[in-house]
Structure formats: C-alpha cells, structure tokens
Amino acid sequence: MKMKTITGAVIACLTATGAIAQANLTAETAAPVTVPGITVLALGELAQGAGIADIQVATGQTLTNSVQNVAEGKTDIAAAPFLLPFLMSRGAGPYAALGPEKGAELVENLAVLYTYRFGTYVLTSFESNGFDGWNSVEGATIYNGPPRGAALNRARALTNLTVGLEDGKGYTGIQVNWGQAVKTMTDGSADGFILPTNFPDGRLAQASASGKMIAFSMPKAAYESEATQKYLNAPGTAGVELPIEEGMFGANVTVQSEDGNFRGIAEVGGEIVSASMDEELAYQLTKVFVDELESVKAKAPLMEASWVGETDQGITGLCGPMPIKYHPGAVRAWEEAGYTLPDCAK
C-alpha cells in the first residue's frame, strides 16, 4: 500500500481539565489528484500547522474498504461516497457478505466532519479511438472503475440509465484500481471510460497529455427520464446540469452535447470518522478546516466547483435514507462559524 505521510508536532485538543492530549491519526482516501485526496491532504497540513494532530494518509485506496475500516476502528478518517454507508446499513452491494444485521451495527460507528462532491460520472474517450459516445458503448470495452465500490456501481448505473445496457452483456466492463487509472486509460485497454470527473479534472489532464479527448454529456432525454430523476434521489446522488464552457474538463478535452449543456450524475460524500471520536478532537479538526476553507479551495482549480464547505441538504446527500449524520464536534464547529445545518443531519 502506497502511503503518503504528513508529520509534524502533535498537539491535539484540550481536555476538560486543561491537559493536552496528543493525536496520531490515520486516514484513507482516493488518488491525490481527486477532490477527496486533495481535501484530506489539506486537512493533514492544517491539523499539523495548527498543532492538532499528525495524520498519516494512505492515498489511492478503494473506498469501499476504507469506509468499513473506519466502522471497524481500523482507520480514523476516510473519504466516503455516501452511497456506501447506505449500502452498508443494509448489508447490500459490496457489503453483502456482512449481512443487514452486522452492516446496520457497523454503520452506527460512522459520523461526518464535512462534505463535498467526489465527481460527476462522465463517458470519455480519445479522439483517435473514433468512439461515437453513447452510441458506441454497445459491444465496446469500457473502463468503469475499481473492482468494487461506489464508482463501479455509479458507472454501471449511468450506462444502464443512458443506453439500457448491463456490464458483461451489452458491453465489456474492465475494472482497475485507481493507482493504475491513467495507465489503463492510455494503454489501449479500453475504448471508453466512465469515471468520476471534476471541473477541471486531474485524471483527464494526465491522460489527455497522450492525445485529445472527448467528454460525452448524458443525453437530455435520458437525463430527464423518470428513471434517472428517481435515481437522482438515491443516497449520495445529485444531478449536474451546466452550460458547456471551453476547457471545463481540461485544456485538451472537448465536450459533446446535443444542446450546449453538459449533464451527468454526481457522487456526493465527505470525510467520515468514528462516531466515538473524542468530541473536542472532531471539533478542532472541523474548525481548522472551516476556518481555512478558502485555502483548501485554492489547492487546485477543481476544488472551487467541488461543493466543499456546502451544508445545504440538497447538495450534501445527508438526511432522508442516509444513515449517518455530522459528528457532534463537527456540528459545533460549523454552527460556531455561522453555518446552518439541517436538524435531520445532526
């Protein structure tokens, strides 16, 4: 496992008696060029600089495993697409082996510090492939994420909603871990790629250095269909509809759409910790993040449009069927900073 370590003086929170407790924390996240990767690395830097904690960060992880690791007390912090706690609570999908009873028990151990958008699922390909977007998916080989987890689930759902095809029947899906994503995109293994993508996108920037790329919008009719609109109400899900701008995905990526608007399905989630994390520590971690929110957004161009720091219920993916809520320490930090959190998420 490749580890990226952030070290420094460790001074955590003041206890009720005024003593200083030290915190050495572990975190798991996605690739460093993604929203969750950039965000938790920024948290590590801020926590170190403020004398709160040392956070040892493992990047490029499969977040299905990371969420379970936090729930089981093996990791302190993890990036979590909010679809995953929902599935865990039901012992479904990648957590089917846990069963509903064990899954529901584990998910009670999870709490949220802050939220963001992981990315919007987009079909892309190299111009040189002669790939005609959604019309070419049938019979094609599509790289659609790591072997298990939220990304694969979303990519398959997007394909089914858009063209009614299933992985292994209408097309051949290949799954590769995030650490090999760019290599897989550029080595000719697949005709197209359906992956979480940002505005602009670090993964596409790396891949498009090998040649010009096209990002294909979800067709308007498919996006506005009853099935898609119902799907957008699922846990951790949001719709994205934006006017196309030059370079919105990157300088070497053009966007194809029938009407000048880009449409896609977004994955929302956030940073989770154990619900039993000391309240003062959760407060201090969230507070330093909220206080330095603008510096976090300045880490990379994609962060400005990542919904990081948003607390609106329609954007965060919390409440409703979502089984996890903000940690009490996080609630205190957000509200002290003047933000309003929905009661159902506290």
Fold agreement between 3-117+269-345 and 119-267 = yes
Average pLDDT score, the chain: 91
Compute the CA torsion angle 244, 246, 252, 258 (nearest 10 deg): 30
Closest to 56 measured CA to CA, from 47, 44, 46 = 44
What is the per-residue pLDDT for 11?
A: 33
Q: What is the pLDDT of residues 194-249, one digit of tens each?
A: 999 999 998 899 999 999 999 999 999 999 999 999 999 888 898 999 999 988 99
Chain centroid to Cα 232, Å, comes to 16
| Architecture of the 119-267 domain | 3-Layer(aba) Sandwich (3.40)
Give the strand pairing for 237-243 and 213-216.
unpaired
- pLDDT reading at 22 higher than 80: no
- pLDDT reading at 150 higher than 80: no
What's the helix, strand, coil split of the chain in %, to 5? Answer: 40, 25, 40
Distance (Å, whole) CA 307 – CA 262? 17
Q: What is the pLDDT of residues 280-336, one digit of tens each?
A: 999 999 999 999 999 999 999 999 889 998 998 878 889 888 999 999 999 999 999
SS3 74: coil
Does CATH number 3.40.190.10 belong to domain 3-117+269-345?
yes
Residue 279: HSE in the Cβ half-sphere, 13 Å Cα cutoff: 6
Q: What is the mean pLDDT of residues 110-134?
A: 96
Give the strand pairing for 24-28 and 77-81.
parallel
Point out the least confidently predicted range of 144-158, 164-178, 286-300. 144-158
Bridge partners (DSSP) of residue 123 are: 194, 216
What is the per-residue pLDDT for 20?
A: 39
Distance (Å, whole) CA 181 – CA 177? 7
Higher pLDDT, 151 or 255: 255
Show the tokens assigned to 286. 């969230």
- Judge if the upstream peptide bond of residue 323 is cis by omega within 30 degrees of 0: no
* Domain boundaries defined on the chain: 3-117+269-345, 119-267
Q: What is the pLDDT of residues 236-274, one digit of tens each?
A: 898 999 999 988 999 999 999 999 999 999 999 999 999
Residue with tokens 């609106």: 312
Give the strand pairing for 237-243 and 54-58.
unpaired
